Amino acid sequence: MDGDESCKLTGKFRGVCKRSFADSCAVLSSCSGSTSRSILRLFLLLVFLFCPVQFAGAHNLHGADGEYDHSVEPPEPVVPVFTMPSRESLLLAARPTTATSSSASARGKLIASYFQPFAKTVKVHWDGENFYVESNGIPSHVMMTGITSWQQQVPLPQPYYGSNAWQFPLFPRVASRPLSCKDNFFRGAIAIAVNGVPIFNPIKNDGRTDTYLAGELDKYGGHAGRADDYHYHIAPLHLQAYVGKNVPIAYALDGYPIYGATESDGSAVKNLDRFNGHSDASGQYHYHSTRTYPYINGGFHGEVNLRDDQVSPQPRAMPVRPFTSPLPGATITGFTRDASGVSTLTYSLAGGVYKVRYEKLKDGKYRFEYISADGGRRVETYDPNSQQRPRGGGAGGGPQRGGATQSGGPPGGPGPVGGRGGRPGERPPPPPRGGYDNRPPRPGS
């Protein structure tokens, strides 16, 4: 066996033990004489035997024939942004309730770890005071299906980035006058889920309509609001399947975490206060999710800034078309998005099947096609730049009238018989107090 052959032999394992292979060839090139060759053979034999055994102890990446399998990809980095210390060490470090740069860093990393399963679409960062969440507000699950009380809105990505990101305090402070969501916060979000989707008050601004019980929510507890912005109104308990049951699935905008329906050790939740929260044995306050009202945080144990009936500051949703009206009797039966970016929402109404197909065009405008049960089509193109922006902070500002570049009135759907807002040319109702997600009280709703 000469030097070249040895190198070829060990080269079989260069994917496994590159360093040893290079080293052995370097040694080989400097060797000469039979004694040296004997020592070298022994050395190469040891490298040959030891290296794959050592590797096999860590991962079995060999194919059936013993060759290195080059098709095996390394696992995706679990924490691409920073090296993640253990959650236990972060918990300990994040305990102080007064902000220091080191405690802010530890606390930021801890909270970031809860958003990490959705890092592909949700970006987070923090400073000494606040934690920030950037997303387009669109979840990876199917949206809208199952809604039986629809207001003709559809989900569109929102620019919750940069100065329009979600935020909550790193170190929540107990409020001297805790505010209930039964009387306040009927606009905008009250929490942000770890998948970057905002969570709104379950109750509408009439003070009594439970959006979940009213059939306004899809199977995941969400729907599209007046700016065509998707959000939940109840606890997104399905997220526990991704993140686990022992970590928060959302953060309330006062900075306290929202856990699932059990304690982090799996035990039953006891002694919740009126806001669905309580303190653990070490005095750490947190909220829980419930399957009945209040579903999520029913108010704010911590301090928040209440302005225009919403937590402030918070991002604005950007409408691209005038808001639409309720369509009584409609049930959403399907929602798809194809590879070219065209979304199709299907709904049934009075035995007919209707569709709304929409897409963003290359020029930045939005094309909506309303297809009725008899095959009739109406196309509207909307220029987002012509939409009035909501005044003041908050996603609850809501879209205003105008913006369609073709005649034919607002997108009232393909004209369902008897449906309010379904008739071409009908103007949408004026925006109610409280903005986009809410409706004036309606008897019996």
**Which residues are near Zn ion by CB under 5 A?**
200, 225, 263, 437
- Cβ proximity to Zn ion: between 260 and 415 the closer is 260
- Could you tell me if 197 and 155 are in contact, meaning their C-beta atoms sit under 8 angstroms apart? no
CB of 83 to Zn ion, least distance (A): 29
- What is the rounded distance in angstroms from the CA atom of residue 368 to the CA atom of residue 380? 5
Half-sphere exposure at residue 215, Cβ-oriented, CA atoms within 13 angstroms: 14
- Cβ proximity to Zn ion: between 313 and 398 the closer is 398
- Cβ proximity to Zn ion: between 223 and 357 the closer is 223
Is residue 421 left, alpha or beta, with left meaning phi > 0 and alpha meaning psi from -120 to 50? left
CB of 60 to Zn ion, least distance (A): 41
- What is the rounded distance in angstroms from the CA atom of residue 220 to the CA atom of residue 247? 19
- Cβ proximity to Zn ion: between 228 and 437 the closer is 437
What is the number of other CB atoms lying within 10 angstroms of the CB of residue 287? 29
- Radius of gyration over alpha carbons of the chain, in Å? 29
CB of 137 to Zn ion, least distance (A): 12
Least Cα distance to 220 among 169, 170, 295 occurs for 295
Give Cα 193 to chain centroid, integer Å.
6
CB of 52 to Zn ion, least distance (A): 49
- Cβ proximity to Zn ion: between 13 and 287 the closer is 287
H helices, E strands: number in the chain: 6, 20
What is the number of other CB atoms lying within 10 angstroms of the CB of residue 418? 10
- Cβ proximity to Zn ion: between 34 and 282 the closer is 282
Least Cα distance to 152 among 219, 216, 221 occurs for 216
- Cβ proximity to Zn ion: between 130 and 211 the closer is 211
- Cβ proximity to Zn ion: between 302 and 414 the closer is 302
CB of 372 to Zn ion, least distance (A): 26
Q: Where are the alpha helices (DSSP H) in 259-399?
A: none
Using CB positions, name the residue nearest to Zn ion.
437
CB of 270 to Zn ion, least distance (A): 8
- Cβ proximity to Zn ion: between 21 and 436 the closer is 436
- Cβ proximity to Zn ion: between 225 and 393 the closer is 225
Long-range contacts of 164-167 (CB under 8 A, 24+ apart): 164/315, 164/316, 165/132, 165/133, 165/134, 165/315, 166/132, 166/133, 166/134, 166/135, 166/192, 166/196, 166/198, 166/253, 166/314, 166/315, 167/130, 167/131, 167/132, 167/133, 167/253, 167/313, 167/314
CB of 192 to Zn ion, least distance (A): 14
CB of 49 to Zn ion, least distance (A): 54
Structure tokens at 1: 């066996």
CB of 201 to Zn ion, least distance (A): 9
- What is the rounded distance in angstroms from the CA atom of residue 294 to the CA atom of residue 276? 7
CB of 356 to Zn ion, least distance (A): 18
Structure tokens at 239: 């997220």
CB of 277 to Zn ion, least distance (A): 8
- Cβ proximity to Zn ion: between 397 and 415 the closer is 397
- What is the rounded distance in angstroms from the CA atom of residue 344 to the CA atom of residue 341? 10
- Could you tell me if 302 and 173 are in contact, meaning their C-beta atoms sit under 8 angstroms apart? yes
Structure tokens at 197: 């989707």
The DSSP bridge pattern shows strands 331-337 and 343-349 to be antiparallel
